[in-house]
Structure 1
Amino acid sequence: MTYTRINKLSLVFPCYNEEKRIPLMEEAMKEFVAQWNSGFEIIIVSDGSTDNTVEMINQSTFFSELQDHQQLLIIDLPINTGKGGALKAGVINATGDFILTLDADISTHPLQLLRWESVLKGFNNNEVLIGARTHEQSVLTEKPHRKYIGYVFNLLVRLFTGVRFRDSQCGFKLYPAHIARNLFEQLDEHGWVHDVELLMRARMQKITVREMPVEWIVKEGSKIRVIRDSIIMLLTLIRLSIKVRLFSFHPHEK
């Protein structure tokens, strides 16, 4: 078993109409840069945004300096592909040896990594670490109905796909780059349920996935429309279940 540390971290942010959150992201990344002692790059993927997301990034002196030092890549997709599609574009273009995916609203701060002892001491470079809001050591600030919705959704994930994690949907996930590229290149589901497919493929390839504690703060302005997106996510879970049980869903399918 090989243990390693992070030499260069790629942070991948999917963004769709996030102009109001760019200042928050900028502040968080300033804090990250001040404390992170290894190499890094930031990849911001604008997923067909129709507001001023990209313009806000380009107007930032901080982000401009990162671009000058080749520490920031902005990917401006012409159409909205979904969160999974945006992450896929970012992961494929990442150059770090580890890739961290996280949400643009900074519900979990990137410095959470410094609280993961396994990251600081080195960990198995063939495993994936995923944030779990249901972990007993996690600290949450969220509305009760969201917690209930998440609980029900993860029960449905177990029922339809057999993926047995307490929290498949937390956006804070750390991958060795070779695993991230392998999983995302195969990704078919580009919407909200992409996390479930990634975990299904990881299980089929016998990749170890560990749930880790996070500090998670709910932010206003969520893009999830509860009723409509819940129906879509349920139908997607059913489709994934059918692929597994009837059509020999294979870890190397494209």
Structure 2
Amino acid sequence: MTTIQFLPPSLDFVNKLVEVVWDHLTLPVVLALVAGILIVDICGLYILLLLVTHTPRPETESEKEYITVTSDGTKKGGIKLPDMLDENVFPEVLMSVVVPAYNEALRIEMMLDEAVEFLNSEFPRDGEKKKLGNGTANGGVNGSAHGVEDWGRRKGWEIIIVDDGSKDATTDVVVEWMRKRVKKGEVKEGDLRIVHLERNRGKGGAVAHGMRHIRGQYAVFADADGATKFSDLRTLLSRLQAIESTRVSPTTPPYDEHHGIAVGSRAHMVNSSAVVARSWYRNLLMYGFHTFLHVIGIQKIKDTQCGFKLFTRDTARLVFWESHCEGWIFDIECLLVAEEERVGVEEVSVTWHEVEGTKMNLVWDSVRMAWDLVVLRAAYGIGVYGGIRRAWRKGNGKARQM
């Protein structure tokens, strides 16, 4: 056996140690060492992943309540929000709109003007909800949602503004805006609900919070800056209904779940003046981000980050049940869960324009997004994320055990 040459006399024991090891280095020993090293490495990586993964803080009691404006213009707060994770809470309106808002006092009114005008024309409140069957929680007829009401006959809409711990007067601005619209009869009490988070969560955390308290059969989240034309929701809903699928829930007794996502997309605008005119480093980061997504396996959706995505109620429950990403890449977590649950996803071109006043720090947030993507992909890949949802899907738990 070759020994280590040129060792000083004081280190001769190293050669003697090498000789002893070499004499005992048989194939079974080598295989055992390799297996041991692999096990230690895997356990170490798993523990490291547990340390770096993110667990959102629990909702506080005040965050489970909302503010609205009554018919006489009075601001009214402390009203309990519905819990979408409760299987006995059924949808009351056709469309819910969740708007995450952080320091949006200067931009949110224009978005609300456009949104309410469209919602009133597209999803009017005319007609009462028609009761079918015996009105019990399950076992309904004609494709009913949890067996209570005809899935296709709900009317009306709601907007949930999630004030993500704003430091400006975002909530006050929305309240004043609502007072004017209530007086004109354009908005009724409870149509627009303001939820104030005690501490900033991030865009993803604000969206997830709002989605967990919707009343709608469908739910869309939209940015407060109004960058996307709200009337495109009509196309998203049409395309979603075209791919919407039904499966049986694991509850006792079971009910029909309705699943699908329509993803607003700006991919068709990649060569438009709105994109080309942007600074070179913003476009460089955009292309780099898309390349990175492709490398880690997210290849079906061309534009994952457009802030305009529509969900069926049951899909929103699964996607936002235990969502972990509270930052900018929460959209990708939505798509990963949809892929795991085999939910149909349709990408739909939308009208979009650049709006000044972004809250994103391009360099720092790009680095953070890259890191979060790696952690997210690894956490779902080895099962660190999604355990509660998967247990429920197997019939081993209930939504209330969130």
| TM-score, with length taken from structure 1 | 0.87
Pairing partner for 1:127 from 242, 260, 279:
260
Does the residue aligned with 1:152 lie in a helix, a strand or coil? helix
What is the 5 A alignment of 1:195-206? Answer: 195-206=331-342
Letter matched to residue 343 of structure 2: I
- Alpha-carbon spacing, 1:12–1:169, altered in 2? closer, same or farther (3 Å): same
What is the 5 A alignment of 1:55-134? Answer: 55-60=172-177, 61-62=179-180, 64=182, 68-116=188-236, 118-119=238-239, 124=244, 125-134=258-267
Q: Is the 8 A contact 1:100 1:172 kept in 2?
A: yes
- Shifted more, 73-82 versus 62-71: the winner is 62-71
What is the 5 A alignment of 1:167-186? Answer: 167-186=303-322
Corresponding residue pairs, total? 249
Query: Residue 98 of structure 2 corresponds to which residue in structure 1?
Result: 12
Higher relative CO (Cα under 8 Å, sequence separation at least 6) belongs to 1
Q: Is the 8 A contact 2:236 2:264 kept in 1?
A: no
Pairing partner for 1:221 from 317, 340, 357:
357
Structure 2: gaps (5+ residues): 1-92, 125-155, 245-257, 391-401
- Alpha-carbon spacing, 1:117–1:86, altered in 2? closer, same or farther (3 Å): closer
Pairing partner for 1:41 from 158, 168, 188:
158
**What is the rounded CA distance, in whole Å, between the counterparts of 1:219 and 1:82 in structure 2?**
19
Pairing partner for 1:141 from 274, 297, 319:
274
- Shifted more, 63-72 versus 115-124: the winner is 115-124
Pairing partner for 1:32 from 100, 118, 122:
118
Does the residue aligned with 1:215 lie in a helix, a strand or coil? coil
Pairing partner for 2:300 from 139, 164, 177:
164
**What is the rounded CA distance, in whole Å, between the counterparts of 1:221 and 1:79 in structure 2?**
21
* Deviation by residue 1:157-215 (Cα, 9 ceiling, x = unmatched): 22225453111111100100111122101201111011111111110110111100100
Seq. identity, %: 30
- Alpha-carbon spacing, 1:189–1:116, altered in 2? closer, same or farther (3 Å): closer
Does the residue aligned with 2:291 lie in a helix, a strand or coil? helix
**What is the rounded CA distance, in whole Å, between the counterparts of 2:271 and 2:97 in structure 1?**
21
* Deviation by residue 1:122-154 (Cα, 9 ceiling, x = unmatched): 652421100111047997734434444333212
| TM-score, with length taken from structure 2 | 0.57
- Alpha-carbon spacing, 1:207–1:119, altered in 2? closer, same or farther (3 Å): closer
The structure whose Rg is larger is 2
**What is the rounded CA distance, in whole Å, between the counterparts of 1:86 and 1:250 in structure 2?**
19
Does the residue aligned with 2:220 lie in a helix, a strand or coil? strand
**What is the rounded CA distance, in whole Å, between the counterparts of 1:208 and 1:43 in structure 2?**
25
Letter matched to residue 199 of structure 2: I
Q: Is the 8 A contact 2:240 2:262 kept in 1?
A: no
Query: Residue 170 of structure 2 corresponds to which residue in structure 1?
Result: 53
- Shifted more, 65-74 versus 242-251: the winner is 242-251
